[in-house]
Amino acid sequence: MSNDRHVPVMLQRCLDMLAPALERPGAVVVDCTLGLGGHSEALLKRFPEVRLVALDRDKEALRLSGERLAPYGERATLVHAVYDELPEVLDRLGIPKVDGVLFDLGVSSMQLDEADRGFAYAQDAPLDMRMDQSTGIGAAEVLNTYPPGELVRILRAYGEEKQAKRIVSAIVREREKEPFTTSARLVELIRDALPQAAKRTGGNPAKRTFQALRIEVNHELDSVERAIPAAVKALAVGGRVAVLSYQSLEDRIVKQVFAAGAATTAPPGLPVVPEKYQPRLKLLTRGAELPTEEEVAENRRAAPARLRGAERIREDVL
């Protein structure tokens, strides 16, 4: 499989956002979502002095990226880990603080393009969806074993699917006849279950259900909720974090963490705000930045991307 078809999303903007922090001597940057290594390679190229630590839960991604980043030798340290394990990884490597952190959330191009992973609703494949295939349960087991009420909750919470009850009723009816194993059968069931009006908007009608299953299987939102505050905590003063999100649930978490860090925590009415109540972060984006039309034309997967950034402006004061 070649790396050349993978175009990293909003690459130039991410590099520019992190640049003031990574041009410092001895800078360390963490790519929390290595994938096929596009962002990591660009970071190593643009900042020749920087040391990179890159995380991924997918062993195949680590193998392919390892080949791609081999020319950079000891400047790149690749680690098999989920991004919310960032504090443990840095501790193990003896790195107290970092200068930059990059997150490119969601599914990697490799996972979408490898048909047998079951992420894409456009191809028939085993219903797996695990980003790390060495652990946890796959999407088929979720569909075949979860109680109906739990499936409805997942589709509503993680897929923002308004027709969750209707889809789950159909799933429960079908799984009693025969357990689910492949994606095509699920896509067909969703098409049949939805009213005509619901099929007319928003692309493939299976999209929201597949997103919900993927988030559940990989505990993605739980990981994001832990990882973003951990990244902020790991930043040295002057360090920067950039986060690419692809759906509103993730973007909301990032927005809330950054907003809380950029706000004063002082009780109202204080004439002078003591140091411990001062903001720890400065926001680097006004709202979320969107990809340009040119970027979307070049890489359709960039279309839903939302970029937010923040700079660490002071230490936590206990």
Query: What residues form the annotated binding site for S-adenosyl-L-methionine?
Result: 37-39, 56, 83, 104, 111
**Cβ neighbours of residue 135 under 8 Å, at least 6 residues apart?**
none
Quick check: 233 and 227 in contact, CB under 8 A? Answer: no
Quick check: 69 and 61 in contact, CB under 8 A? Answer: no
DSSP 78: E
Nearest one of 66, 59, 106 to 302, comparing CA atoms: 106
Instruction: List the binding residues.
Output: 37-39, 56, 83, 104, 111
Tokens of 233: 């905590």
In angstroms, rounded to a whole number, what is the distance separating the alpha carbons of residues 291 and 288? Answer: 10
In angstroms, rounded to a whole number, what is the distance separating the alpha carbons of residues 288 and 305? Answer: 9
Quick check: 239 and 97 in contact, CB under 8 A? Answer: yes
